[in-house]
Chain A
Amino acid sequence: MSKYLLNKFLFMVDRDPELVERYRDEPRELVAWWEAEHANTVLNCHTGEASTWLRFDDVEREALATHDHVKLFELGAHPFLTLTLFIALFERDNTEPLEYQKSYGARLAHFSMPYPDIAT
């Protein structure tokens, strides 16, 4: 299991407007493409050096492919990264202020302290 790689996906998609839209519209395809093309990118390297060992396990891949933010929380993905990206994906559908943000919290109501560990 790689909390780091989950976070890396959320981090890289969140900062790219085109990827945000692709993730909203076609999450499964975007996750597969990103894992194949970018999971091993070393972010501070401007040439072709890349890592060789990073991949999602099946549970992680499925959580991302189904926009399952509750599972991502359970897996220990960084809650700030998940929240920020998911607001970008779904806040636009709000019919009243903070509607998505509140329902996002409500879907996590079954978690009690301590929350899943987010240390990487």
Chain B
Amino acid sequence: MFGRRVFIVALVPLISLAACSSTSESQQQTTLNVYAASSLAAPFAYAGLAYEKEHPGVKVQFNLGASSDLARFIQEGAPADVFASADITNMNKVESQDLLDSQSFIFATTYLEIIVEKGNPLKISSLQDLTDPDLIFVTTNPEVPIGKYTTTVLKKAGVAITPDSFESNVKGIMLKVASGEADAGIVYHSEVIASDGQVQGVKIPTEFNIEAEFPIGIIKNSANKKEAQGFIDYLLSPEGQSLLTQYGFQTP
């Protein structure tokens, strides 16, 4: 076979890397598991770092994905401490099964925007422009919050579009548009900010737009409720609020 020695040489750094990370983890006393909608990735990454700095001994571990996936994981007993969903429907799935410690509440809102490739080569300026049959439009399944919101916005505007793909979450839409494979998609305004110029946003008029509400809650079975509350408190602190604003969210 292809050099056994090469294989071993390649393995050594991997194993030592794994060993390093496990030792540093064992020095931490607590791991706070935050399950968050993938659209919260950017502000939460910073919030996690800031929280860890203020609370030595706590490590914030994120599980980012479609809110519908995360809600299902929590229903199946995944070890989550905090759940931040991109819509109320998926938070309700968890809440209705009495899996929350206390009632969830809206901590951030945002609105939707059309995204197009950098430079807007197709000169898309309205929802109506998306009906061009040659245009490649991607969204997600309607169970994923962004897919549901997209359907609502298109219905409000009276625009009928046949999507070319149903991605698994909002990041899938971002990848397909940023790489130029798709011409357009609809995502959160915050996502456009976080993309740092990878895609270009096109405004959707307020009369067709919706307010996407992001609820957060602490999981009932959490063993780290104090830390979970601390993380939420950080998000609600002036520092946390300005972080969310900076990433295109509004705070109630």
> Is B truly associated with A?
no
Q: Which residues of A contact B (CB under 8 A)?
A: none
Q: Which residues of B contact A (CB under 8 A)?
A: none
